[in-house]
């Protein structure tokens, strides 16, 4: 099978490249193809003729999206539409990465794939609008929503916590946002499984279990037996430009339909910390 990973230089893209074996995988960064340029997208899909395209490219700076909505919608909504048009024309299957931020966070139980989208910020809106466009262009698209990624090869929450813990005796971490931290290695394996099963429709793919950012930070500090104190604070105390959902736990029901089970986030974190500090 020939697979094209667009966004192959990102946090998830690098894990996909490492984990994907037995198929012919071509990983592309923004220098190879800028998805905002329809003609270039068309050219590369026509030239390579992949059976699957995994679209992991995005403008992922959630706060940056608030100050540059034009870029957010161009990269996160219009770019994916260009890729979907090319996939449709050249008969490629498409798996698109989306986000828990398409939800408003007002639910108190895990979000199912059919729950209504109601994004709160520009990033979430750009992803939600991309989902709608893609389902229209290519109804058999697979949309894999995920959340709170961590892994090697880029900036991520555990990395930030460990850098701060190295220089500060105490850290303030938000305790009123709950979600599912997801190890890029486990997500990559889930995505590969979905492609091999010819998945279509919306699927939620995260590690199992959930926590707040504060609980996540405590687990990181505890795992490495560090002395740093972690203090819970509210989102209001740590004001950021983009609103974040208070609750964005994604239900695993849709993934189980494909016979795929994800490890717990604590297990993922343990393996990440081992990988990071061998
Ligand atoms: N990170 C999270 O916590 C999180 C949570 C939920 C969903 N997601 C989704 O999961 C996917 C992967 O996220 P990630 O954290 O791996 O992203 P990332 O590390 O920020 O990497 C972004 C990737 O997109 C590429 N890219 C950016 N602009 C592009 C453009 N105009 N044309 C083509 N490629 C472009 C980058 O290429 P270069 O590096 O070569 O410029 C890079 O490969 C994204 O769709 C994201 O929205 C992420």
Convert 161-180 to b/e letters by CB count within 10 Å (16 or more is b): bbeebeeeeebbbbbbbbbb
Distance, CA of 142 to CA of 164 (rounded, Å): 38
Q: 0.95 exceeded by the pTM? A: yes
Q: How confident is the model at residue 239, as a pLDDT?
A: 87
Kindly list the protein residues whose Cβ atom lies closer than 6 A to any atom of ligand 1: 7, 9-13, 29-31, 33-36, 56-60, 75, 79, 97, 99, 146-149, 154
What confidence tens digit (pLDDT) does each residue in 199-232 have?
A: 999 999 999 999 999 999 999 999 999 999 999 9
Q: Sign of torsion, CA 119 155 189 207?
A: negative
Question: Would you state the pLDDT for residue 101?
Answer: 98
Distance 247 CA to ligand 1 centre (A): 23
Q: How high is the mean pLDDT of the chain?
A: 97
Is 123 catalytic? The answer is yes
| Helix extents (H) in 50-97 | 62-67, 69-73, 79-90
Angle between helices 38-48 and 79-90 (to 10 degrees): 30
Q: Rounded to an integer, what is the distance from CA 80 to the centroid of its chain? A: 15
Task: Among 28, 56, 82, 194, name the best residue to mutate to test ligand 1's pocket (greatest count of ligand atoms within 8 A of Cβ).
Answer: 56
Question: And the tokens for 174?
Answer: 């938000």
Confidence at residue 278, expressed as pLDDT on a 0 to 100 scale:
54
Complete DSSP assignment for 110-162: PBPTTSPP---SHHHHHHHHHHHHHHHH-TT-EEEEE-SEE-SSS--HHHHHH
Using the mean position of ligand 1's atoms as its centre, give its distance from the Cα of residue 56 in Å: 6
Question: Which residues of the chain, if any, have pLDDT below 70?
Answer: 277-278
Work out the angle at residue 163's Cα, subtended by the Cα atoms of residues 171 and 264, and round it to the nearest 5 degrees.
80
CA 31 to ligand 1 center in whole angstroms? 13
DSSP state, residue 74: I
């Amino acid at each position: 099978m020939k697979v094209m990973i667009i966004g192959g230089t990102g946090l998830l893209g690098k894990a996909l490249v490492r984990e994907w074996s037995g198929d012919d995988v071509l990983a592309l960064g923004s220098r190879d193809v800028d998805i905002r340029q329809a003609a270039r997208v068309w050219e590369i899909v026509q030239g390579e003729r992949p059976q699957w395209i995994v679209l992991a490219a995005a403008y992922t700076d959630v706060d940056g999206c608030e100050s540059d909505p034009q870029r957010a919608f161009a990269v996160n909504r219009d770019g994916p539409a260009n890729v979907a048009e090319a996939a449709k024309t050249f008969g490629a299957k498409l798996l698109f990465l989306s986000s828990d931020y398409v939800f408003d966070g007002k639910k108190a139980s895990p979000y199912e794939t059919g729950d209504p989208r109601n994004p709160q910020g520009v990033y979430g809106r750009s992803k939600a609008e991309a989902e709608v466009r893609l389902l229209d262009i290519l109804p058999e698209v697979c949309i894999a929503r995920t959340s709170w990624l961590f892994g090697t090869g880029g900036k991520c929450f555990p990395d930030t916590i460990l850098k701060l813990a190295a220089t500060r005796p105490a850290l303030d971490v938000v305790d009123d946002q709950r979600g599912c931290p997801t190890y890029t290695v486990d997500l990559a394996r889930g995505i590969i499984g979905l492609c091999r099963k010819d998945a279509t429709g919306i699927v939620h793919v995260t590690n199992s279990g959930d926590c707040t950012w504060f609980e996540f930070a405590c687990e990181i500090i505890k795992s490495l037996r560090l002395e740093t104190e972690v203090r819970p604070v509210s989102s209001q105390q740590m004001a950021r430009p983009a609103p974040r959902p208070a609750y964005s736990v994604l239900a695993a029901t849709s993934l189980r339909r494909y016979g795929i089970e994800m490890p717990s986030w604590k297990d993922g974190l343990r393996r990440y910390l081992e990988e990071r500090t061998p």
